[in-house]
Amino acid sequence: MADLVVVVEDVLASTGAATDTGVAGQDLLSGQAVYLDSATGTIKKAVDTSAAAAAAIGITLHAAYADQPIAYIKAGGITLGCATAVGAVYGVTDTAGGISLISERAAGDYITILGIGSSITEIVLRINASGVAIA
């Protein structure tokens, strides 16, 4: 199965979700998994190819060009405008900003759990950046 096909105009944080802001280090779209680049202090698309880039801090709530402010959800419910599976575990993928089932990761991928499908349209974020790659 491929990455979730996020409908950018339908991305919405649930009431009570924990959000934060930062500065985009590259062009970002709504609904992308992101990490904090410690070298630049900016928010970039998470990708599972290194421990640092896989260490997601959240999912973007709107689009932003590089050097613009960006808001992201870091905990709580988020609707991505696409079908999700109840009880399924979602994480960072090898596509920059991508989100898909953790079960689809392969050898060499660094595992970051983003959250669990809580309904057919929502994921509850409980981020766990393990720093561990699949052997």
Averaged over 98-119, what is the pLDDT?
Answer: 96
**Maximum Cα–Cα distance across the chain:** 39
Q: How confident is the model at residue 96 (pLDDT cuts 50, 70, 90)?
A: very high
- The pair phi, psi for residue 130, each rounded to 5°, is -75, -30
Summarize pLDDT for 6-34 with one digit per residue, the tens: 999 999 999 999 999 999 999 999 999 99
pTM of the model: 0.96
CA–centroid distance for 41 within its chain: 18
Domains and CATH numbers, the chain: 8-133 (2.40.300)
